[in-house]
Structure 1
């Protein structure tokens, strides 16, 4: 993740990339993307362990920027994967954080992988609210 200093508060919703000045990078925050594939036939296990898993994530909010699920077969099916954007320069530490989760320890995941991640832009980077229509104007 990157914390940005845009030099002014409250960028207008009418802003476009043509006139938004080049924000200066203040601080680079190391991030790792951990992707875990859900093991087959673990729906019941996920339901049983779900409260402990969510509590674990809550206890580590200071290290997890985002966590969410992918639905490879549509939202009506069980999640196929989970993504964790972990704030860490160290890929081993990021992977260890997820491997200590109740889901991993119980066998909910068949595999987990980790890769360095660099955020480019988004609504939550450094508190900067990038306009929704900055790249693709909406009518």
Structure 2
């Protein structure tokens, strides 16, 4: 489906979802002066068009921050190495995967419930046939965390 630009109401809905992705359709409707059904239809359309690409659930004990790491992945074939990306799409803890320029090919952010789960995911990725090497950087603390503001996911 073609991606149609967002009108002012869509932009207001998107901004509210970026602030609070769990807001009810009824509360959102009140904020943007539409019916609940109209809000639901607009959200459904933005999902179909790719403006909203997912909702994230972070598992683990309430109040405990997830463990996160960046994994720099080197692939055997930069141009035809889509098999690695296909597998990464199936791992729910992979919250970001960018193809980047420079020495390594993929920058992958993993958010998991434990360090052990990060290690399991790293082992899975490192064992993929298209991967030649990886470098891992554990996140020590997050000092800035913003919503994606129109790029894709609502947080």
Bigger fraction of residues in strand: 1
Higher relative contact order structure (alpha carbons within 8 Å, sequence separation ≥ 6): 1
TM-score, normalised on structure 1?
Answer: 0.47
Bigger fraction of residues in helix: 2
